[in-house]
Structure 1
Amino acid sequence: MQSLFIFQINNFLLFQALNMPPAMVYLTIVAFLLTSTLSVDALGCPTGCMCNDDTYVVQCERSKLDVIPITLNPAIQRLVLRSNKIKTVDASFQFYRDLQYVDLSNNHLVNIPTKSFLHQEKLQELHLNENKLSSINNKTFQGLKSLTVLNLRRNFLEELTRGLFSVLPKLEELNLGENRIFKIDELAFEGLLSLRVLYLDDNSLSSVPTPSFPVLGSLAELHVGLNSFTSLPDDAFSGLGKLSVLDINSAGLSNISTYAFRGLTGLRSLSLGDNRLQQIPTLQLSQLCRLEELTIGQNQFTAIGKGCFKGLINLRKIDITGASYLERIEKGAFSDNLNLETIILASNKKLATLEDGALVGLPNLKRLVLRENSFKTLLESMTSWNELRALELTDNPINCDCQLLWLLNSINSKNLTNVQCSTPPQLRDRSLRTLTADDLGCSFGDPRQQAIIITLCVSATILLGALGLFLFRYRQRVREALKDYKWNKRAISRKEHEYQKTFSDDDYITRTTQHHIKPIPVTEL
């Protein structure tokens, strides 16, 4: 191993000498002679690095290196040179032909010479993010036949030319985010038959690079947010039939054409947050029948109306966060989304109204996030609370009165989120969990009893009012009926009196004798 190592270093020095000015040849020869007497221990791990010859891992993070070390174990497989001062990738890489992972992120790389990775046939991950690379060509990555991940994020790239990545047949993830890309050739991604994840976010694209998509038939995840789009035309993502995740956050969208998402039959996750949409694009979204997750906060709509998400029958999670204009959620807003499990309505500062029944009919709802809104109270009839496992209500101006007794009972029984009272003044900053029915001003502990009593009182009031109205309307007839009743009663009383006078005791005895009735003897005491 030692002789092989020294042999490789000597070759490198000779190679450098051939490319140096004559004045430097002498010094190179001296270095060549010196290396012949050096041992592996003398050439070992550079200062500030950690080298493990058992796992073949070398870490030189923040080690103030300005060149790639040439004295490492040639059998290393993982090389981390993150956060140093390295300015270029030189021929030293030819020593390390077993490399599988290389991290050169956060250095001072300005360019990468052609064929720098020619001997890295086993390399699978290459991280060149956070450097100063302004250009690359189709020979930059020549030799990387096994590369699956290439990270070029946060550089100064401006243009992607034709066949730029055609030498990377096994590439699965390509990160080009946070560059200055304004132009992409139609065949820039030619040859990337295995590409699954593509980041083009935070660049200078003025439109979706639709013409360059047809060669990406295997793409499953696309990030194109933080660009300068104003609209999505019809068939904006044509050719991406296998796309599962689409992120268009912060793209400046104000208009989405009716058939912008046509062809995305397998899309499962869509992010449209932080754009300029003034209403929910119901018709456009209805074509995404397999959509399971939707993020659409930080837009300019004021209400979520009935059937806004019509057609999204497989939707499981919806996130509406930071919609600064949103004021109300109307009844039936999620009536077509029976598979919803998570609803996030957070940080919507004007949202104060959840209409009665707005969340009714969602049998699978498990998590409801309502934090940082303007809710003062919540109705028990708003949704079915039996299946709910998590409720977040923090940072709302909650008014703690008897209307929230049902929520108090739910918190105590299900251990849901903590709720702090804002009003009335005597309960300000008190936790709802610590209050009682009396604290909330409830006369009865059970709200159902209150409902029954209120119903009875209202019914009695209605009946008494109806009876009073009836008597007032027919008062003349009632008066005459009462007068007749009194007169008849007096007549009956006179007849009874006369009848009683007609029959004396003697007459009674005589009449009973005539009818052969034996008189009852009277015994004097």
Structure 2
Amino acid sequence: MFLLYASIALIAPYSIGCKPSKSGVFDNVTVLIKGLDKTTTEDSILIEFDDSLSKYLNNKPSEIVIIRNQFIPKLETNSVADLTKVQNLTLAGNGIREIQQGTFQNLPNLKVLNLSRNSIEEVRIGIFTDLRMHDLYLDHNKISRIGYKAFSKLHLKNLFLRNNRISRWSKDWFADSSVLVLDMGYNLIEELPPNAFHLMSKPANNSMSIIFTGNQVKKLNSHVFSGVSTYDRIVLDGNSMDRLAPGVFDGVRRVNVLNLNNNSLSEVNADVLGTVQIDVLMLEDNKLRCLSTDIFRMEELDIDGNPISCFCVKTWLDWRDRHSNPSIYHITNLEEECI
């Protein structure tokens, strides 16, 4: 009897499930590919199970690769590597939760990487280091953690991190990186620290745009924007700011558009703006009762939706009578209401 049980015990592990199931990073995944040549047609490839894309793509016209709305929970090292022809790679809506370091190695011609609408929770250091692209889409994920220097040595024109769960900002994320447009809209950020962007390298003859629409920023502290001399756009609409600290624009020479719409600002004075040249100042839907004419140095000032007092309007009209080209300040409607 003992020998019979021993035989069963030895045989059972091999008799049950003796044919192992095959799986990989890409398990029954359909890949759409296109060439940039307009004469090439769209092709589709079914990968039954594999850990790498390159063997399926490098011998075909595959400058554009799309894998969308399938199931790929994890990208492993080299799974999306050595795609030497690919210029536009879309991996959107695939339920990706994790990306390992080394996933995107040797992509010399990549211009656009789209990882939007996945379930990514963390951006670790080394995932995107040294990539040179035009656009990186990480919007509509679940990102709440970004590792120290996670975007270091990243060379981009546009980085989209909208609609995630990022609650704090660290200037170390972008050390020695070049990003022209950084979109952090609709996250949970409450505060921007001093010198928030000074570690980001600035391409010659280009100005940076930073977008924090719809976060939870309550105030702007001193020296937040120091270290960058020229901004194309600073967009902070839809936050909870009730004041701007003195020196917030210290070190900044020019801002083309400063958007502070839809906050709770009750005053903006000339000392806060300092010597920075602002071309367009947007202050719609705040709590402003008045603005000193000392700040009237910009080309356009938008103040719709504020409870501006008629006394203040009269001050503006007196100022207008003494200066040229006053129509740019858009006070016609207020003037009519106060007559």
Scaled by the length of structure 2, what TM-score is found? 0.73
CA distance in structure 2 between the partners assigned to 1:113 and 1:138 by the alignment: 8
Partner of 2:109: 146
Any conservation in 2 of the 1:94–1:117 contact (CA below 8 Å)? no
Q: Which has the higher contact order (CA 8 A, sep 6+)?
A: 2
Q: Evaluate the alpha carbon distance shift between residue 126 and residue 333 of structure 1 in structure 2; reply closer, same or farther with a 3 A threshold.
A: farther
Secondary structure of the 1:174 match is strand
Secondary structure of the 2:85 match is coil
Partner of 2:169: 208
CA distance in structure 1 between the partners assigned to 2:330 and 2:97 by the alignment: 44
Counting only pairs closer than 5 Å after superposition, residues 316-335 of structure 1 correspond to structure 2 as: 316-323=279-286, 325-326=287-288, 328-332=289-293, 334-335=295-296
Deviation at 1:349, TM superposition (A): 5.9
Partner of 2:67: 104
Deviation at 1:255, TM superposition (A): 3.0
CA distance in structure 1 between the partners assigned to 2:96 and 2:144 by the alignment: 16
Secondary structure of the 2:42 match is strand
Partner of 1:341: 299
Partner of 1:378: 335
CA distance in structure 2 between the partners assigned to 1:305 and 1:53 by the alignment: 56
**Equivalent residue for 1:69, pick from 45, 49, 63:** 45
Partner of 1:356: 314
Partner of 1:238: 198
Deviation at 1:147, TM superposition (A): 0.8
CA distance in structure 2 between the partners assigned to 1:245 and 1:321 by the alignment: 20
Secondary structure of the 1:294 match is strand
Deviation at 1:223, TM superposition (A): 2.2
Q: What runs of 5+ residues in structure 2 fail to find an aligned partner?
A: 1-18, 23-29
Instruction: Provide Cα deviations, 1:345-392, integer angstroms capped at 9, x if missing partner.
Output: 33x264454522437377566655579xxx6x516xxxxxxxxxxxxx
Partner of 2:40: 56
Q: Evaluate the alpha carbon distance shift between residue 378 and residue 57 of structure 1 in structure 2; reply closer, same or farther with a 3 A threshold.
A: farther
**Equivalent residue for 1:311, pick from 275, 287, 291:** 275
Secondary structure of the 1:355 match is helix
CA distance in structure 2 between the partners assigned to 1:52 and 1:204 by the alignment: 36
Quote the sequence identity (%): 21
Deviation at 1:320, TM superposition (A): 1.8
Instruction: Provide Cα deviations, 1:266-289, integer angstroms capped at 9, x if missing partner.
Output: 223211222221124453135422
CA distance in structure 1 between the partners assigned to 2:330 and 2:39 by the alignment: 46
Aligned residues: 301
The reply to whether residue 223 of structure 1 matches residue 183 of structure 2 is: yes
CA distance in structure 2 between the partners assigned to 1:52 and 1:278 by the alignment: 50
Instruction: Provide Cα deviations, 1:173-209, integer angstroms capped at 9, x if missing partner.
Output: 22222222222222322442x3232223332223212
CA distance in structure 2 between the partners assigned to 1:290 and 1:251 by the alignment: 24
Any conservation in 2 of the 1:241–1:264 contact (CA below 8 Å)? no
CA distance in structure 1 between the partners assigned to 2:157 and 2:34 by the alignment: 34
Any conservation in 1 of the 2:35–2:61 contact (CA below 8 Å)? no
Partner of 1:181: 143
Secondary structure of the 2:113 match is strand
Secondary structure of the 2:283 match is strand
Secondary structure of the 1:155 match is coil
Deviation at 1:23, TM superposition (A): 10
Any conservation in 2 of the 1:149–1:172 contact (CA below 8 Å)? yes
Instruction: Provide Cα deviations, 1:218-270, integer angstroms capped at 9, x if missing partner.
Output: 22222233332222222222312526111122221123321222212122321
Amino acid at match of 2:39: T
Counting only pairs closer than 5 Å after superposition, residues 4-43 of structure 1 correspond to structure 2 as: none
CA distance in structure 1 between the partners assigned to 2:139 and 2:291 by the alignment: 38
CA distance in structure 1 between the partners assigned to 2:117 and 2:65 by the alignment: 17
Secondary structure of the 2:255 match is coil
Amino acid at match of 1:318: L
Q: Evaluate the alpha carbon distance shift between residue 248 and residue 145 of structure 1 in structure 2; reply closer, same or farther with a 3 A threshold.
A: same
CA distance in structure 2 between the partners assigned to 1:266 and 1:222 by the alignment: 14
Q: What runs of 5+ residues in structure 1 fail to find an aligned partner?
A: 1-20, 25-45, 60-67, 72-87, 380-397, 404-525
**Equivalent residue for 1:171, pick from 126, 130, 133:** 133
Any conservation in 1 of the 2:210–2:234 contact (CA below 8 Å)? yes
Partner of 1:63: none
Any conservation in 2 of the 1:117–1:143 contact (CA below 8 Å)? no
Partner of 1:121: 84
Amino acid at match of 2:210: L
**Equivalent residue for 1:197, pick from 140, 153, 158:** 158
CA distance in structure 2 between the partners assigned to 1:308 and 1:297 by the alignment: 17
CA RMSD of aligned residues (A): 3.7
Scaled by the length of structure 1, what TM-score is found? 0.50
Amino acid at match of 2:112: V
- Could you say which structure has the larger radius of gyration? 1
Which is helix-richer, 1 or 2?
1
Q: Evaluate the alpha carbon distance shift between residue 111 and residue 239 of structure 1 in structure 2; reply closer, same or farther with a 3 A threshold.
A: same
Deviation at 1:170, TM superposition (A): 2.4
CA distance in structure 2 between the partners assigned to 1:23 and 1:297 by the alignment: 57
Q: Evaluate the alpha carbon distance shift between residue 183 and residue 367 of structure 1 in structure 2; reply closer, same or farther with a 3 A threshold.
A: same
Any conservation in 1 of the 2:36–2:63 contact (CA below 8 Å)? no
CA distance in structure 1 between the partners assigned to 2:279 and 2:34 by the alignment: 46
CA distance in structure 2 between the partners assigned to 1:116 and 1:261 by the alignment: 39
Which is strand-richer, 1 or 2?
2
Q: Evaluate the alpha carbon distance shift between residue 307 and residue 275 of structure 1 in structure 2; reply closer, same or farther with a 3 A threshold.
A: same
